[in-house]
Amino acid sequence: MSRIWTAFIFGIIVTLAMNALDMLYHVVTDTAVHLNYVAVKFTIIFATVFLIALVIGRGKTPGIVTSVLGPVAFYFYYSVASPTLDRSMFTIDEAVWYVVVHVIALAIAYLLAQSFVVKQKGGRLPFAILVSLAALPLYWGWLMALVKLGGGLDEDTTKVMTMGAAFLSLAILFVLIYGATWFCKKGHFPGFAAGLVFGIISVITGATVLDAFVRIFVIGIPYVLAHQLKGAA
């Protein structure tokens, strides 16, 4: 596996997991999660993780640099992005304190990916936790996108997840992913199998076929990417 590809998927997985932790923090503290805001944050954090993994490498020192630099870069963007942000809506991260929250979230995601999945410490459990966290923003983003596609406003998208729904979704994702690794240890296939079960559950509970189809990839894609990171060097 080339170093560029490894850094790329490492960046995707770490950024998704970081965003999951951040989104959970938002719903726990009853602050809204906007689709545009998440997209911008994802882009900036991903660029930081990817470029540092590629140019400096991975490990303790690059992890610390990444965890600090990414949120600081995002904060600078956030502070000067008035022309592209509706300031009546996007007021959440104006406090410097949120940089600390993002640093902690990114450090946890980086540590989980690098120390437990890449270096394969701890077996299936940290792997399932990382993939569940990585799948959550995809699932959450998909639900928000459905609202937007249906003609909803930005404010409507913030209502797709409550704190209870977010943690319940994470728990379901974790059970499916951990179960898949338990029953079928090899290859990438278990991720899509877990995704299919997720899709079937959603159809039974009233989702459309398209919605169910997308959910296969909500779990399948992060599972496959994280699986490639196992022992990746």
Partner 1 sequence: MKAIIPILAILSLLLVACGQTAPVEEKSGETLGTADQVVTINSFKFSPAEVTVRTGQTVVWKNQDSASHTIAIDGTESPELFNGDTWSHTFDTAGTFDYLCGIHPSMKGTVVVE
Quick one: 3 or 159, whose CB is closer to partner 1?
Answer: 3
**Exposure string for 94-131, b = 16+ CB within 10 A, e = fewer:** eeeebbebbbbbbbbbbebbbbbbbbeeeeeebbbbbb
Q: How many Cα neighbours within 13 Å face the side chain of 200?
A: 7
Write down the least CB distance from residue 210 to partner 1, Å: 18
Chain residues that interact with partner 1, rule: CB under 8 A? 1, 3, 6, 54-62, 114, 118-119, 183-190, 193, 196-197, 200, 228, 230-233
At 214, which helix (H) or strand (E)?
helix 209-229
**Exposure string for 178-214, b = 16+ CB within 10 A, e = fewer:** bebbeeeeeeeebbbbbbbbbbeebeeeebeeeebeb
Write down the least CB distance from residue 154 to partner 1, Å: 37
Q: How far apart are CA 153 and CA 144, in angstroms?
A: 10
Write down the least CB distance from residue 152 to partner 1, Å: 31
- Sign of torsion, CA 56 60 65 70? positive
Question: In sequence order, what are the residues at sequence separation of 6 or more whose Cβ sits closer than 8 angstroms to the Cβ of residue 60?
Answer: none
Write down the least CB distance from residue 56 to partner 1, Å: 6
Quick one: 128 or 196, whose CB is closer to partner 1?
Answer: 196
Write down the least CB distance from residue 110 to partner 1, Å: 13
